[in-house]
Amino acid sequence: MKKKLENEIEMTDGEQTQNDLGKIRFRLLLSYFVLIAIAVLAVSFVTISTTYGVMKNKTSSLLLTLNMQIKLSITSYFDSMESASVLVFADEDNYLYDPTRETDEEEKERRLDDITDRLMEISLMRNYSDFGIVYRNGDYAGRISDGTVKLFGDQLFAQMEASIDDEKRQDGWTCGYENNFSRLYYVKRLNENALLVLSFYAMELEEAFEYSAGTEQVTVRVTDESGNVIFSSRSEENGKPLEENIRNSIGDYTSAAVVDEEYMHNISTSGGKWRVICTISMESLDKEFGTVRMKTAIAAVLTVILGVILGLLLSRGITEPLNNMVYGLSERAEYDLLTGIFNKMTFELYAEEMMDDPQLDGDVAYFLSDVDDFKKVNDICGHSAGDRVLRQYGKIIGDIFHKDVPGRIGGDEFAALIQIPKTENPYIYIGERIKNIQKRVAQIHEENAEIHVSIGVAFRGEEKLNLKDLYRNADRALYETKRRGKNGYTIYNKMGQEGEKA
């Protein structure tokens, strides 16, 4: 009996110990999961907050890059429209004739018909709505549309003359008379009583815009000095005043980045009077980021449940989509949207890093080039053809200098900072690559236009020049190539004189 009682006591003590151990394990497990949960929540909060800040910065850089590209394209588009006015001055009969002083009505009618025929030939180069000469007495030659005549009536000459705001060039742009923003008008004085007037529909500005993946949620607007929308990627805004909340947010800024509770804006000015405004709503930014927050929360719960064993895998699941997002935004802000190589800001950043690298071995060369007579390519073949030329030349530069730092630093201006191995002859090393470039450029074909490039090269040498001075020397070499007839290259000499054209 005593033995049996002792056995029962031992069994009770064993069960109690197991119960105590179970409680300890439960408490340890609970404490462990609480600590894991706190750690995961803390890390998730920091990750989300940090990534959101980075995403805002990268989005701001993306808006800046997009704005710069659109401003460049619009300026080029306006220049190509104005270029036709030069052809009018090729014939004195076009710009010197003054019907207000003509006494013979038959002679005046004949002269106006002759001028009209010539203007119609010139206007075929572009899709103009109006292309003609208006005179102070109400006569006109060329194509002046019924819409323009109806809009301005007997105020046509006076209103066109009032739009001339460049006293030196005697020309100007105007839009919005009687709140009509459907057309943009370019005016150039031919003589005291004659004005060249050309116009195109504002909706055609869309041809000058360059969009890329990732910019679908960006609204692009072009406004006049009074804040009226001449063109918007949201067509319903065309011809209307800029929204009051946006107007209050951006104020009178002509070049700025503005962020408020509702929107993120980037503003620049084209042609001295048109404001280019790129806008993305903070709501769309938050909505896009909401997916990241949701996935992060799910990943955090799974991390708590699975514990240490799956911790590493889940941390990758959390950070990988966020890193991809940040990386994607970074790529959009770093690369030129048209050509796919570095834009000017990124090129200069990486170029300076290369030159400041203490482990840099060998010389460094600054390669600078542009497309010869690129404006003529746009005028003859059209804006889209010009874009194709830039895109193909950018690919050539990116391919040949893929181990170096290539970039597009201007409209048709490309550069590369090249590290020359210590074992190579710098002139031979650069010469071989330039010959390869010329060979591939010769294979670019655009109807009615031959494509050539001019190149200037400068070596850093023993003087250890900084990037600014190196660019200046390469620019001098490029200028020398242009001076000697273009379609070649010049290597800047250390003594300050350019070498021979190739």
What is the per-residue pLDDT across 249-302, written as a single tens digit (0 to 9) for each? 888 888 888 888 888 898 988 766 788 888 988 887 777 667 767 777 787 777
Q: Find the helix or strand (DSSP H, E) in which 278 lies.
A: strand 274-281
How far apart are the two ends of the chain, measured CA to CA in Å?
A: 116
Contacts of 373 (CB under 8 A, 6+ apart): 486
Q: Domain 344-491 sits in which CATH superfamily?
A: Reverse transcriptase/Diguanylate cyclase domain (3.30.70.270)
The predicted pLDDT at position 208 comes to 65
- For every residue of 291-307, DSSP letters joined together read HHHHHHHHHHHHHHHHT
The predicted pLDDT at position 322 comes to 45
CA dihedral 301, 305, 308, 314 (to 10 degrees): -40
The predicted pLDDT at position 219 comes to 87
For the chain, what are the domain ranges?
27-321, 344-491
The predicted pLDDT at position 128 comes to 87
Residue 59 CA: distances (Å) to CA of 286, 329, 443: 12, 7, 37
User: Which parts of the chain sit beneath pLDDT 70?
Assistant: 1-25, 28-29, 32-33, 52, 208-215, 271-272, 288-289, 292, 304, 307-332, 494-502
What is the per-residue pLDDT across 464-477, written as a single tens digit (0 to 9) for each? 889 999 999 999 99
Predicted structure pTM score: 0.49
From the list 303, 436, 306, the residue with the least C-alpha distance to 367 is 436
